[in-house]
Amino acid sequence: MRYDFDREINRLNTASEKWDGLEARFGVKNAIPMWVADMDFMSPAPIMEALQRRVAHGVFGYTMRPDSYYDSIVEWLKRRHDWHIEKEWIAHGPGVVPALSVLIGAFTQPGDKIIIQPPVYHAFFRIIRGQQREIVNNPLKWENGRYTMDFDDLEAKIDPAVKMLILCSPHNPVGRVWSWEELARLGEICGQHNILVISDEIHFDLVYRPNRHIPFASISQEFADRSITCISPSKTFNLLGLQTASVIIPNSQLRRAFQREIGRLAIGSPNTFGVVALESAYRHGEEWLEQLIEYLQGNVDLVSRYCQERIPQIKVIEPEGTYLVWLDCRELGLSAGELDRFMLDRAKVAMNGGHMFGQGGEGFMRMNIACPRALVEQALRQIEQAVQSLHGTK
C-alpha cells in the first residue's frame, strides 16, 4: 500500500513531549517543534492493526517474549543488515538510553573513564556523569566536507582508567554512517587497550542510499566478543513510547553480567504492547520503511536546497542517516545562547541547540525533519525571514 507522509496529524493534547511539552521545555507556545527525535508520522498500518487486536483481547497481565519475538529480530538483522546473530544473544532493555545506563553500571566503576565522540547525543553526558564516571572527549574532525573520527586523538587520550567507549552509529547529530574501515580501525584501537565498545545503533534502519549501516559487532568475531549493541524499532517505526529495546551481547559472560544488573534493578519485564509492536514492525513494516526513507530524503533535499538558495548563511551538513539535520549557523555571528533565542523568538522554530551535544557543537542547530513536508517548508520560510530581519538590524 502507499502511505501518505504529507498528512498532518494533530498531536496536541496527546501528552506528546515534542508538542505538549514545548512551553515547559522552551518557554514558548507558538514555535514549530523540530527538536526531540520522534516523528510526526503515523506508524505502519500492520503495527496498529496488531496493537488493536491485542487491545481487543482486553487482558493485559504479565507478559513474556515468545520465540516469534526473538525470531523477528534475528530475521530483521539478517535481511536488512546482513548480520547473522543467535537468538540467545538477545537481551532486553527498557529503551536504548536506559540500557546504556545499565551497561555503564554493570561494566564500569565510579571514577572510571568512558570515551565519547562529540558533538554527540546529549543523553550520553547525563548518564555517564550521573554514575560518577569521567567523560573523555574524542571530538570528531571536520575535514574534506564531512565529519570523521580522530584516531590520533583517541589513542593519545587512552590510559588504564579508560574502560568503555560509547559509539553512536549512525551518529546523532552529525548524521554520519560509519564506513567499514572507520569501524575496523576503532575496534582495533579499543581491542589493543581492552576497552569495551557499547554501540548505540538505534538509528540503524534510517540510512540514505548509497550508504549502508554496518553493525560494529558484525565486522569480526573479535569485535563481537568485546562489544554490546543496542537497537530498537522505536526510531524506525515511531514507537518510542513503548519502551522496548534489544541489547545484543554475543559474549555469554558479558550477557550474564548485564542480565544480573537488569535483574537487580527489576526492570526486565516487557511492555505488553512493545512486544506486539516490535514483532509486527520487523515482520510487516519494511514496505512502510522504504517509503519513509524516500520521503525523508526528499525533506533533506528540500532543507539543503532551500538553505543554499535562500539562506546561504546557514550551511547544511547533509546526513547519511537519521532524520536529523545538522545546521551550521556560525556565519550568523551569534553566541550559543543568542542562537537559541534567535531561532525561538524570531524564527519561532524550536530546535536543539548544538551546544547541547558537547565540544564542537557551538554555533550549530539540530533540526528534526521527520514531519510533513509542508511543516519543513514553513519552518524554513520562518528561518529565512528571521535571518533577513537580523541582517537588516546590523
Strands 315-317 and 324-328, bridge-based pairing: antiparallel
Residue 270's pLDDT is 94
Are 296 and 179 in the same domain?
no
Of 164, 238, 239, 151, nearest to 195 (Cα)? Answer: 164
Query: Model pTM?
Result: 0.96
Percentage, residues of the chain above pLDDT 70: 99
| Residues 93, 256: Cα–Cα separation, whole Å | 14
55-87 pLDDT, tens digit each: 999 999 999 999 999 999 999 999 999 999 999
| Residues 381, 344: Cα–Cα separation, whole Å | 14
Are 54 and 104 in the same domain?
yes
Residue 150's pLDDT is 98
**HSE on the CB side for 386, CA within 13 Å?**
20
Residue 390's pLDDT is 86
Side chain identity at residue 261, one-letter code:
E
Q: Which residues form the domain of 334?
A: 22-44+287-389
| Residues 217, 240: Cα–Cα separation, whole Å | 24
Can you say how many angstroms the Cα of residue 239 is from the centroid of all Cα atoms in its chain?
Answer: 13
| Residues 49, 85: Cα–Cα separation, whole Å | 29
Domain-located, residue 9: no
Q: Which residues are within 8 A (CB) of 335 and not within 5 positions of it... i.e. 6 or more apart?
A: none
Are 268 and 128 in the same domain?
yes
Residue 366's pLDDT is 98
Are 259 and 164 in the same domain?
yes
Are 219 and 353 in the same domain?
no
Are 219 and 123 in the same domain?
yes
Residue 361's pLDDT is 97
Task: Please state the domain count of the chain.
Answer: 2
Last residue of a domain, one of 221, 252, 284: 284
Stretches in the chain below the pLDDT threshold 70: 392-394
- State the first-to-last Cα distance of the chain, in angstroms, to the nearest integer: 52
User: Which grid coordinates belong to 118?
Assistant: 562529540
Residue 392's pLDDT is 64
Are 296 and 262 in the same domain?
no
Are 212 and 329 in the same domain?
no
Name the residue with cell 561494566.
107
